[in-house]
Amino acid sequence: MAAPPAPPEPGVLLPPHKLRLLARAWLEEDAPSPDPASWAVGHAPCHAQLLCKSAGVLAGTPFAQAAWEETGCRVSWRVAEGSRLPPGRTVVAEVEGPGAALLLAERVALNCLGRCSGVATAAARAVATARGRGWAGMVAGTRKTTPGFRLAEKYALAVGGADPHRYGLGELVMLKDNHLLAARAPLAQVVGAARRAGGFTRRLAVECGSAAAAVAAAGAGADIVLLDNFTPQALHAAAGEVKAAHPGVTVEASGGIGLETLPQFLGPHVDVVSMGVLTHGAAALDFALRVLGGEGEDGTP
């Protein structure tokens, strides 16, 4: 039997026009007016090495490349997106272009790489933990992302092997606890109204704080029940109750789950574990740019 085709690279999820728009917005934020230092550098051709000084998973190269290309530079990558970076210094890419233009995009590119690589590294660690325990469910992120940087962080989750979860509010009909409280109506009525508003193309998720609420939500028509802020013991008991009554419903666990505690939340009745810490708690990897030429031509600082 033929092996299934390999999944496409996460980069295909990034529309080129969106990359350009983001690069321009980030450059505008960083350089809203002329940079006096550019006067000293000028437009003479410049060659630099992009270095990573941390171990982890490389992610964010499309965003860094878009920033440099926006200023007229060319990037030649030595390490592929999604590759494991060893401890110590690794030459990740070489960048060429007019000196002032190359340095204009430097910080934007480095910040994108550091942040995305940190998220991808955390995601890869979580997925490896889950697979190491023999759990076949899905590790996912959440919408706890940095304003203005959501696409990059969602993309980085995918590079690390995790599911990005919904990008925006409209991609999934989700009734959280505050929706249910604000609606001031019976659960079945609120679920029915949300399903009608979402149409036939969107799945419906309901956040639940108890096993009884989860079973009721599944019975009312929820496709996904989100068991939020449960202890591991209570989570597995509630998930078992939901699956016993509604085997086809997806059970998602979320709320306060960290990389160290993740194994406690993996169980046979849990389909998805979503973790906000993969984005809001990820430590950035350390990237640097070293201009070559004259002294320090080998790229050393």
Burial class of residue 233 in the structure, from the number of CB atoms within 10 Å of its CB (0-12 exposed, 13-18 middle, 19+ buried): exposed
DSSP 8-state secondary structure symbol assigned to residue 163: B
Residue 97, amino acid:
G
Options 18, 53, 144, 154, the catalytic residue = 144
Which residues, 6+ apart, have CB-to-CB distance to 74 below 8 Å?
A: 68, 95, 96, 97
Neighbouring-strand partners of residue 301? none
Place of tokens 């233009």: 101
How many Cβ atoms from other residues are within 10 Å of residue 186's Cβ? 12
SS in 3 state form for 22-41? HHHHHHHHHCCCCCHHHHHH
CB 202 within 8 A of CB 166: no
3-state DSSP helix/strand/coil % of the chain, to nearest 5: 45, 20, 40
Q: Is 144 a catalytic residue?
A: yes
List active site positions. Answer: 144
